[in-house]
Structure 1
């Protein structure tokens, strides 16, 4: 049954890609994302996953987005975990040449579940996530102190990890392949139920049991609200993962 589900998901992701390839009015952009991901491990069941990420356009060099995210995660049963969290998001104009540089805050509460399976030569993860989007109200090109609910967004991510190099029984270099599709839900969503698709390929180097560095490429294909225009973004990503294990310190 699990294999059938995985095959169905792969077919669905492929069809979603094919259905948008024929669309026109595509804006191409190049970006660089740098992120720091500290994870606080409290015990074998509970952890707090955090993220600080800066996203910038390369030509011209201009800030695009800045985000702060935290998710409290708990292991439910074998191979399954659940999480709930919150993201504070700062959105600059999607056009780096825009004269108006107003940065609009966004609040995103979210819940989700994740499944992880290990096989002989690779591992597979499935992440299902639901998030609400609240945007700061802008009046006469000025921010107010109020927020308005925009819509819900469903996200599904398929991830595959393939160890390429091991040393002393530890995985040192890991190939990471991910595909995530996002859908909008809400009364304000008329022409862009499909929101975006993200395909990622990266290499992670494990420095030690607590630190890993990852560099990769992400293609971000996003539909705009009018349903006709799209962004096709080529993104280089540099990430630092840092695990702070309170569980081991307690045992000491």
Structure 2
């Protein structure tokens, strides 16, 4: 039996150390300028079953600068899910992102992005901890301020989330839980210059399961972004409020 002390050490290593190491390693190789912002992300996620194998992903994120007062980003994402097993799922989808000038190193103007993505997501457990792994590949078309045409980028992402029930062995309706995740982003391809490391996100939250279909999380996100020039590193302290609402339109047998 694995001890609680060892479990928490494992979660710490998996969720926090990789992002810390990557950001500091990259920063050490360039003359670094640090910009700090306070943001708020208000988000909805839904994975809705249409049949035994197929489903629909829906997602809207309102990202705000200065916690809530100023616009930062609008993100709308959708996709088609295919269930490989009860604990593994493939998704093919599309996202639209609109980014606004914000913070200490703002863009010159609002700019759009169109994105196609493919991902594999699966879950496993270790005693009371439930882990979610997500591997995502993105093809991005970004129209930077002052450009007439879109520039194409590739990016890969790995996300690891851990959930710990607080009331029993599993998270049941009307119960609280703890959640933490780390996600690292890496750019590649001919249009990427110095910012191969794109960003890292480290997150911790308190969650509450409303019912079998819905849960909410209130947490803190520490986001580190390396700007395309490779010199400016953006540190975003972010309040994150999330609603997860998964409906089942398929068979109830």
- What TM bracket, shorter-length normalisation? 0.7 to 0.9
Query: Partners of 1:155 and 1:98 in 2: how far apart?
Result: 24
Match of 2:130 in 1: 123
Structure 1 residue runs without a partner (length 5+): 1-5
State the alpha-carbon separation in 2 of the partners of residues 183 and 94 from structure 1: 23
Per-residue deviation, 1:238: 0.8
Cα separation, partners in 2 of 1:121 and 1:68, compared to 1, 3 Å: same
Contact 2:35 2:105 (8 Å CA) reproduced:
no
> How far apart in 2 are the matches of 1:201 and 1:36?
17
Post-superposition CA distance 1:18-66 (Å, at most 9, x none): 4146563110000011112233211332221211110111179310100
Residue 40 (structure 1) aligned to one of 48, 56, 59: 48
Is the contact made by 1:166 and 1:173 (CA closer than 8 Å) also made in structure 2? no
Q: Distance in 2 between matches of 1:241 and 1:163?
A: 17
Q: Which residue of 2 aligns with 1:154?
A: 156
Determine the C-alpha separation between the residues in 1 that align with 2:116 and 2:210.
32
TM-score by length of structure 1 reads 0.83
**Which whole-Å CA distance do the structure 2 matches of 1:168 and 1:127 have between them?**
21
**How far did residue 178 of structure 1 move?**
0.4
Q: Which has the higher contact order (CA 8 A, sep 6+)?
A: 2
Indicate the SS of the match to 1:246.
coil
Matched-pair contact (CA < 8 Å) for 2:207–2:217: yes
| Partner SS state of residue 240, structure 1 | strand
1:95 Cα deviation from its structure 2 partner: 3.5
Segments of 5+ residues of structure 2 without an aligned counterpart are 1-9
Where 2:127 maps in the other structure, the secondary structure is coil
Q: 1:112 to 1:166 in 2, by over 3 A?
A: same
CA-atom RMSD in angstroms: 2.9
Distance in 2, matches of 1:55 and 1:169, equals 28
Question: Residue 72 of structure 1 contacts residue 85 of structure 1 at CA under 8 Å; is this kept in 2?
Answer: yes
Of 218, 234, 238, which aligns to 1:235?
A: 238
Describe the shift of the 1:41–1:229 C-alpha distance in structure 2 as closer, same or farther (beyond 3 A): same
Provide the rounded CA distance (Å) in 1 between the counterparts of 2:27 and 2:179. Answer: 24
TM-score (norm 2): 0.83
Residue pairs, 1:1-252, within 5 angstroms: 10=14, 13=19, 15-20=21-26, 22=28, 24-58=32-66, 61-77=69-85, 79-95=87-103, 102-136=109-143, 139=146, 147-166=149-168, 170=172, 172-247=175-250, 250-251=251-252
Shift of 1:110: 0.3
Contact 1:205 1:214 in 2 (8 A): yes
Partners of 1:62 and 1:96 within 8 A in 2: no
Structure 1 residue 153: deviation in Å?
Answer: 0.5
Give SS of 1:36's match: strand
- The 1:200/1:99 distance shift into structure 2, 3 A limit, reads closer
Higher strand share: 1
